[in-house]
Amino acid sequence: MKVKRGLRVLLPILGACTIFVGTAMASNSVGLFVNGKALSTEETTIESGKVIAPVRDLAEAMGGHVTWDKETHLANIQTGITKNMVEDWIRKQGNEKRDYYFDDLSFEEMNVDGDAEPEVLVRIDGGVHLGDFFIFDKQSNGSYKLIFEQPWHVESWNIENFRADGMNPLFNIVTRTGGTDSDVRESHLMYMNDSGVWTEAWKGTLKDRSVFQGKYHVAMGSYQFNDDNGELIYWQTEMDASLEDNKQEGDSKTTMKIFNLQQGKFIEKK
Ligand SMILES: [Ca+2]
């Protein structure tokens, strides 16, 4: 759907943009500036004391997105990111040559790297163990580029408190995988490295329950950062449980591992 360039609608002044309008001497043409930047439109005029400018040029200069419905003759200006926009990015840039399950798509703007612009984290919940995860990065021309995609069912994401010198924020992305007789939750500690690659610094099991020899085998794990020395401590408890009522059978076993950050990855300390 292309907006007819000649469409002219009086536009209310939106948001925090500064619009400067000035009439050039000895001419009907009007100079139009948004946030101090001149708009290269020759279609802006002044009529009966009102400045009339092309909606698309003006709205896009203010970071908006314009659609035109020729049936209803409605021009819609959308500022900010919508679910429809995100779906459109995925259709055009997604790696998978299949239909994505857009019904359960959600997204959040979060800053994952060093620049001021937030990136867009997107997850599609396709069922208990199915899903997709994407990160889109805003380009200088205002478009969004896919920079990471995995067929992950993501249950949650959050920024960790841990921060090494010069390192971009570390995110904890919790995924869920499995199938018949298997259910696994994992924590992926991810960050944007200096080359702009979304990188896994560590991965660990939070819960792994599978059926083995007529019982559930359950492993539960958790981690903490030691702020004093930058170590990541991970504990895991393993036990067996009854298929009937999930009650523990036999003893449990707990182990601990210590990891150090080395060249952008948490490596187990031996
Ligand atoms: Ca950013």
| Other CB atoms within 10 A of residue 132 CB | 23
**123 Cα to the center of ligand 1, angstroms:** 18
Residues, Cβ < 5 Å to ion ligand 1 = 111, 113, 115, 117
Cα separation, 85 vs 174, whole angstroms: 25
Query: Which residues are paired to 125 by β-bridges?
Result: 131
Sequence spans of domains, the chain: 19-79, 83-268
**26 Cα to the center of ligand 1, angstroms:** 46
pLDDT in tens, the chain (270 residues): 444 444 444 444 444 557 676 655 446 678 888 888 888 767 888 888 888 888 888 888 887 878 899 999 999 888 889 999 999 999 999 987 678 999 999 999 999 998 888 999 999 998 888 999 999 998 888 889 999 999 999 999 999 989 888 899 999 999 999 988 899 999 999 999 999 999 999 999 999 999 988 899 999 999 999 988 999 999 999 999 999 998 999 999 999 999 999 999 999 998
**32 Cα to the center of ligand 1, angstroms:** 30
**196 Cα to the center of ligand 1, angstroms:** 10
Extract the tokens encoding 240.
């067996």
For residue 220, what are the contacts with CB-CB under 8 A and spacing of at least 6?
206, 207, 236, 237, 238
